[in-house]
């Protein structure tokens, strides 16, 4: 049912149920901070007590899910990337590479040892080989690049023709967005390369216009109008774009170099190859087999590097949560997912949901998504299901506000300020919300720049991105904030334990209290409201304009 089709009275009743159920169902003893000591799951976190006990109270879970335990997994992801001898993308954990295969083996091995039923869920995708962007004249140089998703193959060497670009001042541009941008440009040669700048209109509009003008290849470089638009940009052309020429990306600086008078270049995109990779799915049956509480994170990195914050952070946090809860006897069935090929267009999660029958989709009570939860220049953010800060560009499934409420109430309980992130569907929850499954998640920021106001509230560096190494080789084990990772790892475990016992606040299915003394979480304090425009720092993985 679409959100627009839900009667207003029903929406209010679910919201009221959310607040009441969350306030009464939660139980907790005084919690030990996540950094206080380690624990073991048979994989060496210090002592064995946590591995031997059931861990079905908040006090136990908050003590046993430690930041050191999460970092242990992250260090292993870093080692996997460092040791990868993949012939095309060494040093990464990208889907289709040796680094990803080793990540799957590590995660699935620990889960099987802990007693989970583990499934390696296969899906096919198009593996893109490294692209080439070389400048020949007036100076020889090789530039970092990548083929746009769904770019055709091609090998073109020829003159570079800038199309209405702006390299100075505010660098505002509508390059290749209008037919007039091509007036007076000569694309009559056999190997002309259009140099197009990001800005104003979607990538596909620019590329289609360049192709129509006669270009044999396109280099689309970043706009350079603020720090988030300086680095290499590699986006998507969408499905069936009708493009027949190769399209590669470039940074602003490299685009400016290519714009020099008399510039010639070489662009090469090899044909893609159909490969099969897997999602890792782990399940722990509950008393109610037909009420599944699901959490997921994407396991793959971009090809540029090891992807420790994006998204080793989410993957490690839910792995540590799953291992801690392995001996529980939950009321509801627990399911964890580590998705493949998210960075290629949310492919693994989309394939998984598409293969589910309607009856299987109906069994999923909720889906919690964790994509980047330890950003080095973080702010705490919650997916804005109630649209109090951002109108959602997608239909928000009924019940999703209960997930937002729990996250916000936890931050409030811990006296931690938080803000909203647009409920955008720009990560692996997209397929779940399209299936009408209540969804929510946490986020600590990507390429968007932290403001002075945000630095005052959360600390960190104003004028720098939330993650300065977003989608870069520098997303390594040093590209994390320990406090953000600690707080969010606790919250991820807290939420999973809560919904393991009752999802009444989300879908009306009654459960039972979490063992322990009941307390009432406070009502959410409310978001800080530090984003005047934009989408709450949640830059898409495949930006379009």
What is the DSSP secondary-structure string of 50-106? Answer: HHHS---SHHHHHHHS-HHHHHHHHHHHHHHHHH---SSSTT---TTSHHHHHHHHH
Give the C-alpha separation, 532 to 448, whole Å.
Answer: 13
Nearest to 176 by CA among 128, 223, 132, 208: 208
CB 246 within 8 A of CB 269: yes
The encoded tokens of residue 492 equal 């991820």
Give the C-alpha separation, 133 to 137, whole Å.
Answer: 13
Give the C-alpha separation, 76 to 47, whole Å.
Answer: 20
Mapped onto helix, strand or coil, the DSSP state of residue 333 is strand
- Whether omega before 311 lies within 30 degrees of 0, making that bond cis, reads yes
Provide the 8-state DSSP code for 297.
E
Instruction: Report the DSSP beta bridge partners of residue 221.
Output: 197, 250
544 is known as an active-site residue = no
Distant-in-sequence, close-in-space partners of 183: CB < 8 Å, separation ≥ 6: none
Give the C-alpha separation, 123 to 100, whole Å.
Answer: 14
Give the C-alpha separation, 95 to 341, whole Å.
Answer: 5
Say which of 216, 283, 320, 342 is annotated catalytic.
Answer: 342
Give the C-alpha separation, 282 to 328, whole Å.
Answer: 14
- Whether omega before 92 lies within 30 degrees of 0, making that bond cis, reads no
Nearest to 485 by CA among 315, 298, 304: 315
- Which ranges constitute the DSSP H helices of 340-481? 347-355, 358-363, 400-413, 430-434, 452-458
CB 297 within 8 A of CB 314: yes
Provide the 8-state DSSP code for 27.
B
Nearest to 255 by CA among 208, 199, 197: 197
Q: Kindly provide the residue ranges of all beta strands, DSSP E only, lying in 222-287, ordered along the sequence.
A: 247-250, 264-269, 273-284
Which helix (DSSP H) or strand (DSSP E) does residue 197 occupy?
strand 193-197
As annotated, the active-site residues are 342
């Amino acid at each position: 049912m679409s959100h627009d089709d839900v009667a207003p009275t029903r929406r209010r009743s679910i919201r009221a149920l959310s607040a009441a159920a969350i306030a009464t169902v939660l139980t907790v003893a005084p919690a030990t901070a996540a950094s206080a000591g380690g624990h073991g799951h048979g994989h060496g976190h210090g002592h064995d007590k946590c591995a031997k006990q059931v861990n079905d109270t908040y006090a136990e879970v908050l003590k046993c899910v430690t930041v050191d335990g999460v970092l242990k997994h992250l260090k292993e992801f870093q080692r996997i990337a460092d040791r990868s001898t993949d012939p095309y993308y060494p040093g990464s954990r990208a889907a289709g590479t040796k680094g990803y295969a080793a990540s799957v083996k590590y995660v699935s091995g620990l889960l099987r040892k802990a007693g989970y039923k583990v499934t390696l869920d296969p899906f096919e995708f198009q593996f893109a080989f490294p692209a080439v962007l070389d400048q020949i004249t007036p100076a020889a140089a090789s530039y970092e690049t990548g083929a746009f998703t769904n770019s055709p193959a091609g090998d073109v060497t020829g003159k570079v023709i800038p199309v209405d670009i702006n390299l100075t001042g505010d660098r505002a541009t509508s390059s290749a967005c209008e037919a007039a941008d091509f007036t007076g440009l000569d694309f009559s040669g056999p190997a002309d390369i259009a140099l197009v700048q990001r800005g104003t209109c979607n990538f596909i509009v620019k590329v289609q216009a360049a192709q129509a003008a006669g270009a044999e290849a396109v280099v689309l470089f970043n706009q350079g109008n603020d720090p988030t638009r300086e680095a290499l940009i590699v986006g998507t052309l969408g499905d069936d774009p009708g493009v027949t020429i190769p399209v590669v990306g470039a940074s602003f600086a490299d685009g400016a170099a290519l714009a020099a008078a008399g510039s010639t270049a070489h662009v090469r995109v090899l044909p893609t190859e159909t490969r099969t990779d897997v999602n890792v799915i782990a399940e722990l049956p509950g008393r109610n087999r037909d009420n599944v509480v699901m959490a997921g994170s994407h396991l793959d990195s971009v090809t540029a590097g090891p992807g420790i914050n994006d998204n080793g952070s989410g993957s490690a946090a839910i792995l540590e949560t799953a291992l801690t809860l392995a001996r529980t006897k939950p009321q509801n069935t627990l399911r964890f997912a580590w998705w493949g090929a998210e960075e290629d267009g949310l492919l693994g999660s989309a394939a998984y949901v598409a293969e589910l029958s309607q009856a299987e989709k109906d069994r999923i009570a909720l889906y919690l998504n964790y994509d980047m939860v330890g950003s080095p220049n973080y702010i705490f953010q919650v997916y804005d299901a109630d649209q109090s800060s951002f109108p959602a560009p997608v239909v928000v499934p009924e019940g999703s506000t209960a997930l937002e409420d729990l996250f916000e109430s936890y931050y409030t309980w811990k006296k931690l300020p938080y803000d909203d992130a647009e409920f955008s569907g720009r990560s692996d929850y997209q397929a779940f919300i399209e299936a009408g499954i209540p969804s929510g998640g946490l986020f600590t920021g990507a390429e968007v720049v932290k403001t002075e106001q945000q630095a005052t509230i959360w600390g960190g560096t104003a004028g720098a991105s939330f993650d300065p190494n977003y989608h870069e080789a520098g997303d390594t084990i040093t590209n994390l904030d320990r406090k953000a990772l600690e707080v969010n790892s606790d919250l991820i475990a807290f939420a999973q334990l809560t919904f393991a016992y009752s999802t009444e606040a989300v879908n009306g299915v009654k459960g039972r209290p979490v063992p322990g003394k009941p307390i009432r979480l406070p009502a959410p304090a409310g978001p800080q409201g530090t984003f005047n425009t934009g989408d709450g720092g949640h830059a898409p993985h495949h930006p379009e304009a």
